[in-house]
Amino acid sequence: MKIIMLGAPGAGKGTQAKKIAAKYDIPHISTGDIFRANIKNGTELGKKAKTYMDQGLLVPDELVVDLVVDRVNQEDCSNGYVLDGFPRTIPQAEALDKALADLGQKMDYAIDVDVPDENIVNRMGGRRACVGCGATYHLVFAPTKEEGICDTCGKELILRDDDKPETVQKRLNVYHEQTQPLIEYYSKAGILKTVDGTVDMNDVFQAIVDILGE
């Protein structure tokens, strides 16, 4: 079972990807993890990726696809995997499809965790992070016992720049421009499934299980 997770930043697709991986005993693969593992292990692909990252440049699509294909060809992916955060653009999706086709493989599902922008801005704007231990909370969904104080270490909580409404909106704009076209791409391919990401995360997961089967 080969699955791609789609959804705007803050839609909760990473959380769902981890839950899918645990339930179906398949690897949860994020491009960030792949980069780190290859760089740490000093692989040829890792060295190439590092030259771009050290200059603050984006790793080219071709190299990202090579890294992903290398990862999904490993033994632990023989029963499938969940791709989280990749592909992000149509060219990446096309390159991935081609690389998989060359191996006689294809993706089975693209699951879109659908959440309106307004919900995401509110959701992320309610996040708070501890300046001391880095623990994260949410004003509505996971509040601290004492307002503004970390339950774990007692230090103060802050709203990170990443979670400020204007920053979140910028990230959403980039998502709509670059990544949202993938929804139509996978819809045409006949593998798109959409779930309502505004409900409780356990209900979102149940909707995904209903699609994938027990």
Catalytic site residue from 18, 48, 164, 171: 171
User: Residues 206, 23, 127, 166: is their CA dihedral positive or negative?
Assistant: negative
Asked if 91 and 61 touch (Cβ cutoff 8 Å), the reply is: yes
Catalytic site residue from 2, 71, 127, 128: 127
Told to judge if 160 belongs to the known catalytic residues of this protein, a careful annotator would answer: yes
Told to judge if 13 belongs to the known catalytic residues of this protein, a careful annotator would answer: yes
Burial of 82 (0-12, 13-18, 19+ CB in 10 A): buried
Q: Characterize 38-75 residue by residue with b for buried, 16 or more Cβ atoms within 10 angstroms of its Cβ, and e for exposed.
A: bbeeeeebbebbeeeeeeeeebebebbbbbbbebbeee
Told to judge if 128 belongs to the known catalytic residues of this protein, a careful annotator would answer: no
Catalytic site residue from 18, 48, 50, 88: 88
Told to judge if 123 belongs to the known catalytic residues of this protein, a careful annotator would answer: no
- By residue count, the chain amounts to 214
Catalytic site residue from 2, 13, 71, 123: 13
Catalytic site residue from 23, 47, 98, 160: 160
Told to judge if 171 belongs to the known catalytic residues of this protein, a careful annotator would answer: yes
**Residue positions annotated with a catalytic role:** 13, 88, 127, 160, 171
